[in-house]
Amino acid sequence: MLTVTVNASKKYDILIGGGLLSRSGEIVRYLYRCKTAVVVTDDNVARFHLSKVTQSFESAGYQVLTYVIPHGEASKSREQYFALLDFLAENRVTRTDLLVALGGGVVGDLTGFAAATYLRGIKFIQMPTTVLAAVDSSVGGKTGIDIPAGKNLVGAFYQPILVICDTLTLSTLPDSVYDDGCAEIIKYGCIADAELFEWLKKPIRPQIDRVIERCVSIKRDIVNQDELDMGIRATLNFGHTIGHAIEKASNFTITHGQAVATGMVMIANAMFRLGKASEATYEAIRDMVEAYRLPVKTSFTEEELYDTMTTDKKRSGDRLRFIIVKEIGSCEYLDVRVEDGGDGITLRKVLKEALK
């Protein structure tokens, strides 16, 4: 088992290893004793992994309640959020009890937000079961739901007391969902870890434990410095500025991982063409994305992307901030002007070059 410790507003461990779910009750009991543990999961994850958790918690002496939501982003909704709060209240779950989020980012974000707000906050544990949740959403304390005006517009920074990442759960993921999470792994290599990037040239599944450990260590280092996302945490958005535009323009039919993968290749291409980074860096990112069966190009036009991006929430004033990778393993900011005219690089110029 590998352990990474986060030192944000709360200190907590991330445990990574195969088979941890069957021991989860015993592990948690050592950290936090209470009467009731409420395990929230989705229907897909429940089918494969729920019984291991309930049995383990029951053997460890907890009363276990389970709450199963339908899988998919649509469950990160006001309706599901309030239904979960109602369930907790009807079952007289108290502030000293515990919520457990067993699943991907959807379950984690919804459960985390319910934990942040139910009775003004009750303790919760993340048990990520997708690659994306393991390397990204289960760590760092961002929780929330979607509203019709946009994704993740309502939420809270609220840290779990523990993250248990049982890497055996990843073996039941559909290949496309597994690959999707690999886009974030490639991102971590690009922005912070050239050695991790090298590891990714070999098959990922046999080394997934150490890969997850590296990714969450990078995220941990960033979150420790900037928990509330006011500065350096933005570097985790490499590939996301264009990626979000692709996701949005496709009405979310293109997945987050696919869109981010394309976004990373496109911004690397633009930086190479604008003389800000080498061709070798661009090619390395493109080849890696391709090797993980993720798309390197988009069919959206400059105009479509421009329109979507100018309503992006990351825009501050008349400038838009890109994260750029000059060499694999480090990154910097590049602020570009949204409007045309004057000197320097504009958003249109970036998009034009990115699409070449």
Ligand X SMILES: NC(=O)c1ccc[n+]([C@@H]2O[C@H](COP(=O)([O-])OP(=O)(O)OC[C@H]3O[C@@H](n4cnc5c(N)ncnc54)[C@H](O)[C@@H]3O)[C@@H](O)[C@H]2O)c1
- Name the residues that contact ligand X, by CB under 6 A: 42, 44-45, 48, 71-73, 76, 103-107, 109, 129-130, 132-133, 136-137, 140, 142, 151-152, 169, 172-173, 177
Residue 76 C-beta: closest distance to ligand X, Å: 5
With beta carbons less than 8 A apart as the criterion, state whether 323 and 331 touch.
Answer: yes
**CB of 77: closest distance to ligand X in angstroms?**
11
Q: How far is the CB of 71 from ligand X (least distance, A)?
A: 3
Q: Which is nearer to ligand X, 136 or 213 (CB)?
A: 136
CB of 172 to ligand X, least distance (A): 4
Q: Least separation, in Å, of the C-beta of 157 and ligand X?
A: 10
| Residue closer to ligand X (CB basis): 167 or 308 | 167
Task: Report how far residue 30's alpha carbon sits from residue 40's, in angstroms, rounded to the nearest whole number.
Answer: 21
Return phi, psi of residue 166, to 5°: -90, 105
CB of 66 to ligand X, least distance (A): 15
* Shorter beta-carbon distance to ligand X: residue 99 or 133: 133
Phi, psi angles (nearest 5°) of residue 151: -75, 145
Written as one string, the DSSP assignment of 267-333 is: HHHHHHHTTSS-HHHHHHHHHHHHHTT--S-----HHHHHHHHTT-TT-BTTEEEEEE-SSTT--EE
Q: Is 214 exposed, middle or buried (0-12, 13-18, 19+ CB in 10 A)?
A: buried
Nearer to ligand X, 25 or 108 (CB): 108
The CB-nearest residue to ligand X is: 105
CA distance linking residue 21 with residue 55, whole number of Å = 10
Cβ closest to ligand X, residue 138 vs residue 298: 138
Contacts of 110 (CB under 8 A, 6+ apart): 40, 69, 75, 76, 80, 81, 84, 101, 143, 145
- If the CB atoms of residues 237 and 269 are measured against ligand X, the closer one turns out to be 237
